[in-house]
Amino acid sequence: MKGAGVKGQDTQHALRRRNLSRVLRTVAAAGTVSRAGIAERTGLTRAGVAPLVDELLRLGLLVEAGRAATGGRGRPGSGLAVSDRGPAGIGAEIGVDHLAVCAVDLRGRVRARVAADAANRHSAPGPVLRRLSALLMQVTAEIAAEGLRPAGLTVAVPGLVARGSATVVHAPNLGWRDADLTPGLTGATGTSGAPVPLSVDNEAHLGALAELRLGGGADGLAPPTDFVHVSAESGIGAAVVVDGQLLRGARGFAGELGHVPVYPDGRPCGCGGRGCLEQYAGEQAVLRAAGLTPEQAAAAHPGPGARIALLARRAADGDAATTGALHEAGTALGIALAGAVNMLDPRTVVLGGALARLAPWILPSLEGELALRTAVAPAAARPGGPLVAVSRLGADGPLLGAAHGALRAVLDDPVTADARAHPPHR
Amino acid sequence: MKGAGVKGQDTQHALRRRNLSRVLRTVAAAGTVSRAGIAERTGLTRAGVAPLVDELLRLGLLVEAGRAATGGRGRPGSGLAVSDRGPAGIGAEIGVDHLAVCAVDLRGRVRARVAADAANRHSAPGPVLRRLSALLMQVTAEIAAEGLRPAGLTVAVPGLVARGSATVVHAPNLGWRDADLTPGLTGATGTSGAPVPLSVDNEAHLGALAELRLGGGADGLAPPTDFVHVSAESGIGAAVVVDGQLLRGARGFAGELGHVPVYPDGRPCGCGGRGCLEQYAGEQAVLRAAGLTPEQAAAAHPGPGARIALLARRAADGDAATTGALHEAGTALGIALAGAVNMLDPRTVVLGGALARLAPWILPSLEGELALRTAVAPAAARPGGPLVAVSRLGADGPLLGAAHGALRAVLDDPVTADARAHPPHR
């Protein structure tokens, strides 16, 4: 111990913060758990767990759950749960024709959610962010009434975001280039005036993170940890997850599946290339192949997700032009994904976003191409389950991924985050 | 400390082994370094470094370098270096028409190397491994005369290897399926009868690991840490390195660039697919497009790398059929790599193996396709340097990667590895 001095104290301080985080994460994962259960799951001693739990109770991040369960009397301390008050993660989504905001509490429950139609295509960032700020203030007010405060804000955008920044480098469907969202969103969630950490991320990346944290099969399968996640709104995005980690790319631009060439001498693309996947499986391409204009689609079925809903209805009704268009989209997706599967050898390909809704008509041709073009390894070598899975989160993925991501700061460092997010606890 | 008992001793033992590894790696990286220098670079105290150095000297893994530098007198201990005796990493390569073996010492120098022509295409594993064993015994005998012993053997194969195994699941150009190489190679490097750890890996993976450890620009650039490495022998392989880690894939089959579809309705491929890259940029495709049969090529220019050498000579001589064939190969490579770059956003694409030798004629069309098809992000957002680099290791990459990989066990745990590799030190 000799000479440890300040450095030793720093280390103890850091250790305590790490242990607070471990305990909070353990309770969040368990639902309701006793102090003894926490000790068992963390490997800490029971004597070590007690003061950590006390601090988390004092911060209002944990609550006694046993007391409530036994009708107001019970034995205090018999059960602990994370609080449904205090910090909330705020997720926001900027789509080409909609805006959405939601708040998730430490228990993972969505506590507030608003969405609005919006004509964002080729609208400057300013007006879009002003509308989004109004929705953010609406959600912040709603959750404040329930004792929740924003701990962080993550915004999903349909474009490339420079790694570790809040700058949208390029969002072709919005028409944005090098747009820093910080000034336009500062203060939108800070009812108390305190700044809230802002993060901006590609919607496909956030959809994949949602799948990693919340996904899994309807039959109780664990969320996947090695997968390629494909999603679509107006464009087509993807994300690669390896050993539970999102692969962001050197600049943060990984996952541009929409611009993988599928027919190299094919249709010209807005990116300057030719035969990009987006020209065959993007929303506009599918609508055109189905014999619809975007205006017809919007008029026939207004609201967010209008055009996808219309395609799904027409396909369900057996409209040959629509099912043919979706078959072709599946073929193009299968060719592009065959390249990705050959390069990355993921355990699963997950279809999310609008693709989840259209999966019944897209999957057959998609799986056919994948089977044909990834056969270099004997099929027997591919262990377990279907290679292609459909996300249960669907179009909600990016928004939920954003809200859960915004809560991570609290789970990583409860003390610091609490200073920002939580009002004095009575 | 109360109750730490055996567990505490285990931990101290593990800590000492980790520190031995840190010191050995530090000296290996530094070349020649003093005890004080080791302390500075590792963060250990000088009092802590001294006994670790003593043990590594005793094991014969380190030597006093100062004594030699000052003409036999000097101050013992003024400089330390890793030994050029003791453990050696053995790398072996099984190619379609050649076999090679090399030995690398702790200083990273190649101490022995043999290669032989071999007609391995569609030869059963047995005879191939018997010939390889003869070469391994030759190299083992050569290095034994210089006081070196095999510490491990890594074999590079042109095929898929199941993750963490010595089983070649599928090597189409050899005609091997589910071939476990362990029985055929046991004893080939064990002159003392002691078994040596065996590892089998895909040649493209090993080429990328060589690039990671030994690569970098001729102008002193550091080796890349985020790149896609492409190499070719008879087939075309690739490897993805992210943050300095090789991405192996869920089964170990990542990097199958040769079967990425480039012209989806194109030529049928042996894998069962259509329009795979290998049908346009693989060696046989290029020879055919250049108007040569493999037999003509081999007859005109015998020896390992014969066909590639012939193509390079013809191209250098300005033969239009050959330069045209290489131009088309570059186009196909560019289309396939555009997909990989869009998905992975690497900092660099490195051309290795035979492609490095043919780069002058392949690069123009390859870079043209990449520029056309990865332009979704503004060019200005791509920081630093050319996107495509040519490996200086060339065709040596996989063999060197294998030999260096085989040495890792020594660097990771000097004590255990020494018990296997090093004779008693005088």
Nearest residue to B208 via CA among B346, B308, B312, B367: B346
Q: How far apart are CA B357 and CA A195, in angstroms?
A: 56
B256 within a domain of the structure (yes/no): yes
- B346 — contact with chain A (CB < 8 Å)? yes
- Angle at CA B332, nearest 5°, toward A267 and B328? 110
Tokens of B18: 């980790």
Instruction: Mark B99-115 as b/e (b = at least 16 C-beta within 10 Å).
Output: bbbbbbbbebeebbbbb
Nearest residue to A308 via CA among A294, A328, A327: A294
Per-residue pLDDT of B237-255, as tens digits, reads: 999 999 999 999 988 999 9
Per the model's pLDDT, the better-predicted residue between B424 and B58 turns out to be B58
Residues A94 and A151 in one domain: yes
Choose the most confident range, by mean pLDDT, from A21-25, A211-215, A294-298, B299-303.
A21-25
Residues A26 and A93 in one domain: no
The contacts of residue B123 (CB under 8 Å, 6+ apart) are B174, B175
The CATH number of the domain where B72 resides is what?
1.10.10.10
B210 within a domain of the structure (yes/no): no
Which candidate in A240, A248, A345, A370 is best for mutational testing of the B interface (most B CBs within 10 A)?
A345
Q: Is the pLDDT of residue B134 over 60?
A: yes
Residue A174 C-alpha, separation from nearest chain B C-alpha, in angstroms: 14
- A342 — contact with chain B (CB < 8 Å)? yes
Residue A279 C-alpha, separation from nearest chain B C-alpha, in angstroms: 13
- A261 — contact with chain B (CB < 8 Å)? yes
CA of residue B359 relative to chain centroid, distance: 20
Determine contact, residues A61/A414, Cβ cutoff 8 Å: yes
Q: Please give the C-alpha separations between residue A76 and each of A29, A55, A72, A148, A212, in angstroms, as whole numbers.
A: 21, 16, 10, 24, 35
Question: Measured between beta carbons, which residues in chain B are less than 8 angstroms from residue A370?
Answer: none
Residues A137 and A199 in one domain: yes
Nearest residue to A404 via CA among A25, A133, A16, A22: A25
- B261 — contact with chain A (CB < 8 Å)? yes
Residues B97 and B155 in one domain: yes
- pLDDT score at A72: 40
Nearest residue to B114 via CA among B149, B138, B131: B138
Question: Measured between beta carbons, which residues in chain B are less than 8 angstroms from residue A159?
Answer: none
- A172 — contact with chain B (CB < 8 Å)? yes
A339, B340: Cβ pair inside 8 Å? yes
User: Which range, of A77-81, B84-88, B295-299, averages the lowest pLDDT?
Assistant: B295-299
Residues A368 and A313 in one domain: yes
- pLDDT score at A416: 75
Question: Measured between beta carbons, which residues in chain B are less than 8 angstroms from residue A343?
Answer: 238, 240, 254-257, 260, 339-340, 343-344
- B14 — contact with chain A (CB < 8 Å)? no
Q: Last residue of some domain: B47, B82, B117?
A: B82
Q: Is the pLDDT of residue A166 over 50?
A: yes
- pLDDT score at B4: 39
Residues B363 and B226 in one domain: yes
- pLDDT score at A303: 59
Residues B262 and B370 in one domain: yes
Q: Is the pLDDT of residue B406 over 90?
A: yes
B383, A251: Cβ pair inside 8 Å? yes
Residues B243 and B386 in one domain: yes
Residues A314 and A364 in one domain: yes
Determine contact, residues B301/B357, Cβ cutoff 8 Å: no
User: Which range, of A306-320, B51-65, B363-377, averages the lowest pLDDT?
Assistant: B363-377
**Which residue among A253, A276, A381 sits closest to B251, beta carbon to beta carbon?**
A381
Q: How far apart are CA A19 and CA A118, in angstroms?
A: 44
The total number of structural domains in chain B stands at 3
B343, A345: Cβ pair inside 8 Å? no
Q: How far apart are CA A235 and CA A270, in angstroms?
A: 11
A250, B226: Cβ pair inside 8 Å? yes
Determine contact, residues B48/B16, Cβ cutoff 8 Å: no
Which candidate in A160, A262, A342, A373 is best for mutational testing of the B interface (most B CBs within 10 A)?
A342
Q: How far apart are CA A18 and CA A24, in angstroms?
A: 10
Q: Is the pLDDT of residue B71 over 50?
A: no
Residues A90 and A116 in one domain: yes
B256, A342: Cβ pair inside 8 Å? yes
User: What residues 114-153 of chain B have any CB closer than 8 A to a CB of chain A?
Assistant: none
Q: How far apart are CA B331 and CA B277, in angstroms?
A: 10
Pairing of strands A227-232, A348-351: parallel
B128 within a domain of the structure (yes/no): yes
Give strand pairing partners of A395.
Answer: none
Q: Last residue of some domain: B30, B52, B82?
A: B82
Residues B281 and B331 in one domain: yes
Determine contact, residues A396/A404, Cβ cutoff 8 Å: no
Q: Please give the C-alpha separations between residue A38 and each of A158, A343, A418, in angstroms, as whole numbers.
A: 40, 41, 21
For residue B249, give the chain A residue with the closest CA.
A345
Mean pLDDT (chain A) is 86
For residue B251, give the chain A residue with the closest CA.
A345
Q: Please give the C-alpha separations between residue B36 and each of A365, B40, B73, in angstroms, as whole numbers.
A: 65, 6, 20
Q: Is the pLDDT of residue B192 over 60?
A: no
Residue with tokens 């969405």: A115
B426 within a domain of the structure (yes/no): no
Counting Cα atoms < 13 Å in the Cβ hemisphere of B77 gives: 8
Give strand pairing partners of A168.
Answer: A161, A179
Q: How far apart are CA A399 and CA A93, in angstroms?
A: 6
pLDDT band at residue A280, thresholds of 50, 70 and 90? very high
- pLDDT score at A315: 96
The CATH number of the domain where A118 resides is what?
3.30.420.40
Residue with tokens 């490495």: B229
A213 within a domain of the structure (yes/no): no
Q: How far apart are CA B286 and CA A370, in angstroms?
A: 27
Residues B247 and B372 in one domain: yes
A375, B272: Cβ pair inside 8 Å? yes
By residue range, what is the domain housing residue A90?
A: 86-206+400-421
Which candidate in A344, A365, A370 is best for mutational testing of the B interface (most B CBs within 10 A)?
A344
Q: Is the pLDDT of residue A194 over 70?
A: no
pLDDT band at residue A152, thresholds of 50, 70 and 90? very high
B187 within a domain of the structure (yes/no): yes
Q: Last residue of some domain: A54, A82, A110?
A: A82
B211 within a domain of the structure (yes/no): no
A300 within a domain of the structure (yes/no): yes
Residue with tokens 């900092």: B347
Q: What does residue B179 show for φ and ψ, rounded to 5 degrees? A: -100, 115
